[in-house]
Amino acid sequence: MAQARAEELRRLLNRAAHAYYVLDAPEMEDPVYDRLYRELVALEEADPELIGPDSPTRRVGGAPAEGFTSVAHRVPLLSLDNAFSPDDLDVWYGRLLKVLDREAQEGSQAPALPMVGELKIDGNALALSYEQGVLVRAATRGDGERGEEITANVRTIRSVPLRLALASPPAWVEVRGEAFIPEATFTAINAERAERGEAPFANPRNACAGTLRQLDPKVVAARGLSFFAYTLHLPDDWLAGPRSQWQALDWLKAAGFCVNPHCALCPDLAAVKAFCDRWEQERRGLPYATDGVVVKLDDLRLQEEAGFTQKAPRWAIALKYAAEEAPSRLLRLTCQV
Ligand code: NAD
Protein backbone atom coordinates (compact mmCIF):
# COMPACT_ATOMS: atom_id res chain seq x y z
CA MET A 1 0.00 0.00 0.00
CA ALA A 2 2.65 2.53 1.14
CA GLN A 3 4.95 1.32 -1.62
CA ALA A 4 2.34 1.87 -4.34
CA ARG A 5 1.59 5.37 -2.98
CA ALA A 6 5.30 6.25 -2.83
CA GLU A 7 5.70 5.14 -6.45
CA GLU A 8 2.71 7.20 -7.52
CA LEU A 9 4.02 10.27 -5.68
CA ARG A 10 7.46 9.89 -7.26
CA ARG A 11 5.89 9.68 -10.70
CA LEU A 12 3.66 12.74 -10.16
CA LEU A 13 6.39 14.86 -8.56
CA ASN A 14 9.07 14.01 -11.13
CA ARG A 15 6.71 14.87 -13.95
CA ALA A 16 5.77 18.18 -12.29
CA ALA A 17 9.44 19.02 -11.59
CA HIS A 18 10.34 18.47 -15.25
CA ALA A 19 7.54 20.80 -16.39
CA TYR A 20 8.58 23.37 -13.77
CA TYR A 21 12.37 23.37 -13.98
CA VAL A 22 13.11 22.29 -17.54
CA LEU A 23 10.11 23.49 -19.53
CA ASP A 24 9.40 26.60 -17.34
CA ALA A 25 5.70 25.73 -17.62
CA PRO A 26 4.34 24.35 -14.32
CA GLU A 27 1.50 21.86 -14.50
CA MET A 28 0.75 21.90 -10.80
CA GLU A 29 0.15 24.64 -8.21
CA ASP A 30 3.13 25.05 -5.85
CA PRO A 31 1.12 24.30 -2.66
CA VAL A 32 -0.08 21.04 -4.24
CA TYR A 33 3.49 20.14 -5.18
CA ASP A 34 4.67 20.97 -1.65
CA ARG A 35 1.90 18.90 -0.05
CA LEU A 36 2.61 15.81 -2.19
CA TYR A 37 6.34 16.27 -1.57
CA ARG A 38 5.81 16.33 2.21
CA GLU A 39 3.63 13.21 1.95
CA LEU A 40 6.47 11.42 0.15
CA VAL A 41 9.03 12.60 2.74
CA ALA A 42 6.79 11.24 5.53
CA LEU A 43 6.44 7.84 3.79
CA GLU A 44 10.20 7.63 3.19
CA GLU A 45 11.00 8.60 6.79
CA ALA A 46 8.63 5.91 8.08
CA ASP A 47 10.21 3.28 5.82
CA PRO A 48 13.60 4.17 4.28
CA GLU A 49 13.32 1.14 1.98
CA LEU A 50 10.80 3.15 -0.01
CA ILE A 51 13.48 5.65 -1.03
CA GLY A 52 14.18 5.06 -4.71
CA PRO A 53 17.14 6.43 -6.67
CA ASP A 54 14.69 8.53 -8.69
CA SER A 55 13.03 10.06 -5.64
CA PRO A 56 12.65 13.86 -5.91
CA THR A 57 13.62 14.03 -2.23
CA ARG A 58 17.15 13.07 -3.32
CA ARG A 59 17.47 15.51 -6.18
CA VAL A 60 17.92 19.21 -6.74
CA GLY A 61 15.97 21.06 -9.46
CA GLY A 62 16.03 19.66 -12.97
CA ALA A 63 18.61 18.47 -15.49
CA PRO A 64 20.29 21.21 -17.58
CA ALA A 65 18.12 21.94 -20.63
CA GLU A 66 19.31 21.04 -24.11
CA GLY A 67 20.63 23.88 -26.27
CA PHE A 68 23.04 25.17 -23.60
CA THR A 69 26.52 24.04 -22.66
CA SER A 70 26.39 22.36 -19.28
CA VAL A 71 29.05 23.38 -16.74
CA ALA A 72 30.10 21.77 -13.45
CA HIS A 73 29.70 23.96 -10.36
CA ARG A 74 32.90 24.51 -8.35
CA VAL A 75 30.88 23.82 -5.18
CA PRO A 76 27.47 22.05 -5.55
CA LEU A 77 24.62 24.55 -5.76
CA LEU A 78 21.97 22.88 -3.66
CA SER A 79 18.38 23.59 -2.69
CA LEU A 80 17.06 24.49 0.79
CA ASP A 81 14.99 22.46 3.19
CA ASN A 82 11.65 24.03 3.94
CA ALA A 83 9.88 24.93 7.18
CA PHE A 84 6.21 25.87 7.22
CA SER A 85 5.75 26.97 10.85
CA PRO A 86 7.70 28.23 13.89
CA ASP A 87 7.55 24.65 15.24
CA ASP A 88 9.37 23.43 12.11
CA LEU A 89 12.06 26.04 12.86
CA ASP A 90 12.42 24.60 16.39
CA VAL A 91 12.83 21.10 14.95
CA TRP A 92 15.44 22.31 12.45
CA TYR A 93 17.36 24.21 15.16
CA GLY A 94 17.26 21.21 17.51
CA ARG A 95 18.70 18.98 14.78
CA LEU A 96 21.39 21.55 14.02
CA LEU A 97 22.48 21.69 17.66
CA LYS A 98 22.63 17.90 17.70
CA VAL A 99 24.80 17.74 14.56
CA LEU A 100 27.10 20.37 16.10
CA ASP A 101 27.12 18.50 19.41
CA ARG A 102 25.78 21.53 21.27
CA GLU A 103 22.54 20.24 22.67
CA ALA A 104 21.18 21.81 25.85
CA GLN A 105 22.46 20.29 29.10
CA GLU A 106 19.75 19.07 31.47
CA GLY A 107 18.10 21.99 33.23
CA SER A 108 19.70 24.63 31.02
CA GLN A 109 18.50 26.41 27.91
CA ALA A 110 19.52 25.46 24.38
CA PRO A 111 22.61 27.44 23.33
CA ALA A 112 21.95 30.52 21.20
CA LEU A 113 23.78 30.58 17.86
CA PRO A 114 23.76 33.81 15.82
CA MET A 115 21.88 33.46 12.54
CA VAL A 116 21.22 35.69 9.55
CA GLY A 117 17.65 36.20 8.32
CA GLU A 118 17.32 37.03 4.61
CA LEU A 119 14.25 37.43 2.44
CA LYS A 120 13.66 34.49 0.11
CA ILE A 121 13.46 36.15 -3.28
CA ASP A 122 11.23 34.23 -5.66
CA GLY A 123 13.61 33.99 -8.61
CA ASN A 124 16.33 31.71 -9.92
CA ALA A 125 19.70 30.94 -8.37
CA LEU A 126 22.75 31.89 -10.42
CA ALA A 127 26.43 31.01 -9.94
CA LEU A 128 28.76 33.78 -11.15
CA SER A 129 32.48 33.03 -11.61
CA TYR A 130 35.04 35.82 -11.54
CA GLU A 131 38.71 35.38 -12.42
CA GLN A 132 41.16 38.15 -11.49
CA GLY A 133 38.05 40.22 -10.75
CA VAL A 134 36.40 39.77 -14.16
CA LEU A 135 33.11 37.94 -14.80
CA VAL A 136 34.02 34.90 -16.90
CA ARG A 137 31.03 32.59 -16.49
CA ALA A 138 27.45 32.53 -15.27
CA ALA A 139 25.44 29.36 -14.79
CA THR A 140 21.97 28.30 -13.65
CA ARG A 141 21.57 25.89 -10.71
CA GLY A 142 20.53 22.98 -12.97
CA ASP A 143 20.64 19.71 -11.02
CA GLY A 144 22.94 21.19 -8.38
CA GLU A 145 26.08 19.55 -9.80
CA ARG A 146 25.86 20.93 -13.32
CA GLY A 147 24.05 24.00 -14.61
CA GLU A 148 23.51 25.72 -17.95
CA GLU A 149 26.10 28.23 -19.11
CA ILE A 150 24.23 31.52 -19.73
CA THR A 151 27.04 34.08 -19.48
CA ALA A 152 25.96 36.24 -22.45
CA ASN A 153 22.46 36.58 -20.99
CA VAL A 154 23.66 37.40 -17.48
CA ARG A 155 26.02 40.10 -18.79
CA THR A 156 22.88 42.07 -19.72
CA ILE A 157 21.72 42.28 -16.07
CA ARG A 158 22.79 45.70 -14.84
CA SER A 159 23.07 44.75 -11.17
CA VAL A 160 25.64 42.04 -12.02
CA PRO A 161 29.11 43.69 -11.97
CA LEU A 162 31.23 42.72 -14.97
CA ARG A 163 34.33 43.63 -12.94
CA LEU A 164 34.59 43.53 -9.13
CA ALA A 165 35.09 46.89 -7.43
CA LEU A 166 38.17 45.62 -5.55
CA ALA A 167 41.71 46.98 -5.84
CA SER A 168 43.27 43.49 -5.58
CA PRO A 169 40.69 40.77 -6.20
CA PRO A 170 41.37 37.11 -5.41
CA ALA A 171 42.40 34.76 -8.26
CA TRP A 172 38.83 33.49 -8.37
CA VAL A 173 35.53 34.23 -6.68
CA GLU A 174 32.22 32.47 -7.02
CA VAL A 175 29.16 34.51 -6.11
CA ARG A 176 25.70 33.08 -5.83
CA GLY A 177 22.47 34.98 -5.72
CA GLU A 178 19.00 35.32 -7.12
CA ALA A 179 18.04 36.68 -10.53
CA PHE A 180 14.46 37.93 -10.48
CA ILE A 181 11.87 39.93 -12.36
CA PRO A 182 10.19 42.75 -10.38
CA GLU A 183 6.38 42.48 -10.13
CA ALA A 184 5.64 45.53 -12.32
CA THR A 185 7.93 44.19 -15.08
CA PHE A 186 6.30 40.77 -14.80
CA THR A 187 2.84 42.27 -15.29
CA ALA A 188 4.08 44.23 -18.33
CA ILE A 189 5.72 41.12 -19.87
CA ASN A 190 2.51 39.11 -19.53
CA ALA A 191 0.43 41.97 -20.99
CA GLU A 192 2.71 42.03 -24.05
CA ARG A 193 2.49 38.26 -24.37
CA ALA A 194 -1.31 38.42 -24.24
CA GLU A 195 -1.29 41.04 -27.02
CA ARG A 196 0.79 38.71 -29.17
CA GLY A 197 -1.53 35.79 -28.38
CA GLU A 198 1.18 33.97 -26.37
CA ALA A 199 0.51 32.03 -23.16
CA PRO A 200 1.31 34.09 -20.01
CA PHE A 201 4.08 33.04 -17.64
CA ALA A 202 2.66 31.37 -14.53
CA ASN A 203 4.64 33.54 -12.08
CA PRO A 204 7.72 35.82 -11.93
CA ARG A 205 10.00 32.88 -11.13
CA ASN A 206 9.02 30.96 -14.27
CA ALA A 207 9.20 34.15 -16.32
CA CYS A 208 12.73 34.70 -15.01
CA ALA A 209 13.80 31.09 -15.72
CA GLY A 210 12.36 31.30 -19.26
CA THR A 211 14.13 34.62 -19.85
CA LEU A 212 17.51 33.38 -18.64
CA ARG A 213 17.26 30.56 -21.16
CA GLN A 214 16.57 32.81 -24.14
CA LEU A 215 19.02 32.19 -26.95
CA ASP A 216 19.09 35.90 -27.84
CA PRO A 217 20.70 38.12 -25.15
CA LYS A 218 18.87 41.16 -26.61
CA VAL A 219 15.56 39.67 -25.48
CA VAL A 220 17.03 39.17 -22.00
CA ALA A 221 18.30 42.77 -21.91
CA ALA A 222 14.80 44.03 -22.74
CA ARG A 223 13.15 42.03 -19.95
CA GLY A 224 14.65 44.02 -17.06
CA LEU A 225 16.04 41.31 -14.77
CA SER A 226 17.68 42.19 -11.44
CA PHE A 227 20.06 40.31 -9.17
CA PHE A 228 20.61 40.10 -5.38
CA ALA A 229 23.85 38.42 -4.24
CA TYR A 230 23.80 36.26 -1.06
CA THR A 231 26.59 33.66 -1.11
CA LEU A 232 30.36 33.92 -1.55
CA HIS A 233 33.01 31.28 -2.21
CA LEU A 234 36.68 32.27 -2.09
CA PRO A 235 39.94 30.32 -2.35
CA ASP A 236 40.76 28.58 0.99
CA ASP A 237 44.05 30.48 1.29
CA TRP A 238 42.38 33.89 0.92
CA LEU A 239 42.90 34.98 4.51
CA ALA A 240 41.14 38.32 4.15
CA GLY A 241 37.91 36.44 3.53
CA PRO A 242 34.84 36.78 5.74
CA ARG A 243 34.30 34.54 8.76
CA SER A 244 30.55 34.85 8.86
CA GLN A 245 27.57 35.14 6.53
CA TRP A 246 27.01 38.69 7.80
CA GLN A 247 30.59 39.65 6.85
CA ALA A 248 30.15 37.88 3.49
CA LEU A 249 27.18 40.15 2.72
CA ASP A 250 29.37 43.19 3.52
CA TRP A 251 32.14 41.79 1.30
CA LEU A 252 29.67 41.38 -1.57
CA LYS A 253 28.46 44.98 -1.16
CA ALA A 254 32.05 46.26 -1.17
CA ALA A 255 32.75 44.24 -4.33
CA GLY A 256 29.91 46.03 -6.11
CA PHE A 257 26.96 43.65 -5.74
CA CYS A 258 23.45 44.53 -4.80
CA VAL A 259 22.60 42.79 -1.52
CA ASN A 260 18.98 42.79 -0.40
CA PRO A 261 18.85 45.44 2.37
CA HIS A 262 16.12 43.62 4.33
CA CYS A 263 18.31 41.19 6.22
CA ALA A 264 19.19 40.94 9.90
CA LEU A 265 21.82 39.45 12.15
CA CYS A 266 19.78 37.62 14.81
CA PRO A 267 21.39 36.63 18.12
CA ASP A 268 19.05 33.66 18.69
CA LEU A 269 16.03 31.74 17.38
CA ALA A 270 13.54 34.11 19.07
CA ALA A 271 15.01 37.00 17.07
CA VAL A 272 14.81 34.89 13.90
CA LYS A 273 11.11 34.26 14.53
CA ALA A 274 10.49 37.97 15.12
CA PHE A 275 12.22 38.74 11.80
CA CYS A 276 10.01 36.17 10.01
CA ASP A 277 6.83 37.60 11.58
CA ARG A 278 7.76 41.12 10.62
CA TRP A 279 8.42 40.29 6.96
CA GLU A 280 5.32 38.16 6.58
CA GLN A 281 3.46 41.50 6.68
CA GLU A 282 5.99 43.98 5.31
CA ARG A 283 6.95 41.99 2.20
CA ARG A 284 3.64 43.03 0.66
CA GLY A 285 5.08 46.52 0.17
CA LEU A 286 8.09 45.25 -1.81
CA PRO A 287 8.31 45.62 -5.60
CA TYR A 288 9.37 41.96 -6.07
CA ALA A 289 7.91 38.63 -4.98
CA THR A 290 9.25 36.85 -1.91
CA ASP A 291 8.04 33.44 -0.81
CA GLY A 292 9.55 33.25 2.66
CA VAL A 293 12.62 33.90 4.76
CA VAL A 294 15.94 32.07 4.53
CA VAL A 295 17.63 31.49 7.89
CA LYS A 296 21.39 30.79 7.83
CA LEU A 297 23.80 29.98 10.61
CA ASP A 298 26.13 33.00 10.72
CA ASP A 299 29.48 31.40 11.59
CA LEU A 300 31.05 29.96 8.40
CA ARG A 301 33.21 27.52 10.38
CA LEU A 302 30.10 26.09 12.05
CA GLN A 303 28.39 25.93 8.65
CA GLU A 304 31.24 23.75 7.42
CA GLU A 305 30.97 21.57 10.50
CA ALA A 306 27.20 21.08 10.01
CA GLY A 307 27.65 20.18 6.32
CA PHE A 308 25.01 19.09 3.84
CA THR A 309 22.42 16.43 3.22
CA GLN A 310 22.19 15.12 -0.34
CA LYS A 311 19.97 18.02 -1.29
CA ALA A 312 20.43 20.95 1.04
CA PRO A 313 22.72 22.53 3.65
CA ARG A 314 21.97 21.54 7.27
CA TRP A 315 22.92 25.05 8.40
CA ALA A 316 20.10 26.84 6.54
CA ILE A 317 16.34 26.57 6.19
CA ALA A 318 13.65 28.37 4.19
CA LEU A 319 10.54 29.31 6.15
CA LYS A 320 7.70 29.50 3.64
CA TYR A 321 4.77 31.76 4.48
CA ALA A 322 1.34 30.24 4.90
CA ALA A 323 -0.11 32.84 2.51
CA GLU A 324 1.95 31.23 -0.24
CA GLU A 325 -0.14 28.12 0.27
CA ALA A 326 -3.29 29.98 -0.79
CA PRO A 327 -5.18 28.11 -3.53
CA SER A 328 -4.17 30.54 -6.22
CA ARG A 329 -0.98 32.53 -6.53
CA LEU A 330 -3.02 35.04 -8.51
CA LEU A 331 -4.12 36.24 -5.09
CA ARG A 332 -0.61 37.44 -4.38
CA LEU A 333 -0.64 41.18 -3.94
CA THR A 334 1.31 43.29 -6.36
CA CYS A 335 3.48 46.03 -4.96
CA GLN A 336 4.22 49.69 -5.14
CA VAL A 337 7.84 50.85 -5.26
P1 NAD B 1 13.19 26.52 -2.86
O2 NAD B 1 12.70 27.51 -3.84
O3 NAD B 1 12.24 26.08 -1.84
O4 NAD B 1 14.52 27.10 -2.15
C5 NAD B 1 15.82 27.13 -2.70
C6 NAD B 1 16.08 28.34 -3.55
O7 NAD B 1 15.80 29.53 -2.85
C8 NAD B 1 17.54 28.53 -3.91
O9 NAD B 1 17.95 27.67 -4.94
C10 NAD B 1 17.57 29.97 -4.33
O11 NAD B 1 17.28 30.06 -5.72
C12 NAD B 1 16.40 30.58 -3.57
N13 NAD B 1 16.74 31.71 -2.67
C14 NAD B 1 16.05 32.89 -2.67
N15 NAD B 1 16.55 33.74 -1.78
C16 NAD B 1 17.61 33.11 -1.19
C17 NAD B 1 18.54 33.49 -0.18
N18 NAD B 1 18.50 34.68 0.43
N19 NAD B 1 19.50 32.59 0.17
C20 NAD B 1 19.56 31.36 -0.41
N21 NAD B 1 18.68 30.94 -1.38
C22 NAD B 1 17.72 31.81 -1.75
O23 NAD B 1 13.74 25.24 -3.54
P24 NAD B 1 13.73 24.79 -5.03
O25 NAD B 1 14.39 23.46 -5.02
O26 NAD B 1 14.27 25.84 -5.92
O27 NAD B 1 12.19 24.65 -5.38
C28 NAD B 1 11.29 23.94 -4.61
C29 NAD B 1 9.99 24.68 -4.70
O30 NAD B 1 9.67 24.88 -6.09
C31 NAD B 1 8.88 23.89 -4.10
O32 NAD B 1 8.65 24.27 -2.77
C33 NAD B 1 7.70 24.17 -5.02
O34 NAD B 1 6.91 25.18 -4.45
C35 NAD B 1 8.32 24.65 -6.31
N36 NAD B 1 8.11 23.62 -7.33
C37 NAD B 1 6.91 23.64 -7.90
C38 NAD B 1 6.62 22.69 -8.88
C39 NAD B 1 5.28 22.75 -9.53
O40 NAD B 1 4.96 21.86 -10.33
N41 NAD B 1 4.46 23.75 -9.23
C42 NAD B 1 7.57 21.72 -9.24
C43 NAD B 1 8.80 21.75 -8.61
C44 NAD B 1 9.08 22.71 -7.64
Instruction: Summarize the confidence of residues 258-266 as an average pLDDT.
Output: 98
Minimum-distance ligand 1 atom for the alpha carbon of 118: 18
The answer to whether residues 164 and 232 touch, using CB atoms and an 8 Å cutoff, is no
Domain count, the chain: 1
SS3 of 51, please?
coil
Buried b (16+ CB within 10 A) or exposed e, 63-96: ebbeebebbebeebbbbbbbbbeeeebeebbeeb
Q: Which residues are catalytic?
A: 120
- What is the CB neighbour count within 10 angstroms for residue 167? 6
In-domain check, residue 4? no
- Report d(CA 216, CA 48) in Å as an integer: 45
Annotated binding residue at 212? no
Considering only residues 103 and 20, tell me which one the structure prediction assigns the higher pLDDT.
Answer: 20
CA of 79 to the centre of ligand 1 (A): 7
Minimum-distance ligand 1 atom for the alpha carbon of 13: 42
Q: How far apart are the first and last CA of the chain?
A: 52
* Amino acid (one-letter) located at 301: R
Tens-digit pLDDT profile for residues 180-224? 999 999 999 999 999 999 999 999 999 999 999 998 999 999 999
Q: How many CA atoms lie within 13 A of 153 on its CB side?
A: 26
- Report d(CA 128, CA 238) in Å as an integer: 18
CA of 223 to the centre of ligand 1 (A): 22
CB-ligand 1 contact for 120 (6 Å cutoff):
yes
Between β-strands 115-121 and 264-266, what pairing exists: parallel, antiparallel or unpaired? antiparallel
In-domain check, residue 305? yes
Q: How many residues does the chain have?
A: 337
CB-ligand 1 contact for 79 (6 Å cutoff):
yes
Instruction: Summarize the confidence of residues 250-274 as an average pLDDT.
Output: 97
CA of 18 to the centre of ligand 1 (A): 14
- Report d(CA 299, CA 315) in Å as an integer: 10
The answer to whether residues 231 and 221 touch, using CB atoms and an 8 Å cutoff, is no
- Report d(CA 302, CA 96) in Å as an integer: 10
In-domain check, residue 5? no
In-domain check, residue 8? no
Give the residue whose CA is nearest to atom 4 of ligand 1.
80
User: Range of 312's domain?
Assistant: 60-331
Give the residue whose CA is nearest to atom 3 of ligand 1.
80
CA dihedral 240, 244, 245, 251 (to 10 degrees): -20
pLDDT at 336 over 60: no
In-domain check, residue 50? no
Tens-digit pLDDT profile for residues 140-188? 999 999 999 999 999 999 999 999 999 999 999 999 999 999 999 999 9
SS3 of 169, please?
coil
CA of 84 to the centre of ligand 1 (A): 13
Give the residue whose CA is nearest to atom 6 of ligand 1.
79
In-domain check, residue 112? yes
Task: Give the pLDDT of residue 329.
Answer: 39
ipTM of the complex as predicted: 0.96
Q: Catalogue the E-assigned strands of the chain.
A: 70-72, 82-83, 115-121, 124-131, 134-140, 146-148, 172-180, 226-233, 264-266, 290-297, 316-320
Q: What is the CATH number of the domain that holds 234?
A: 3.30.470.30
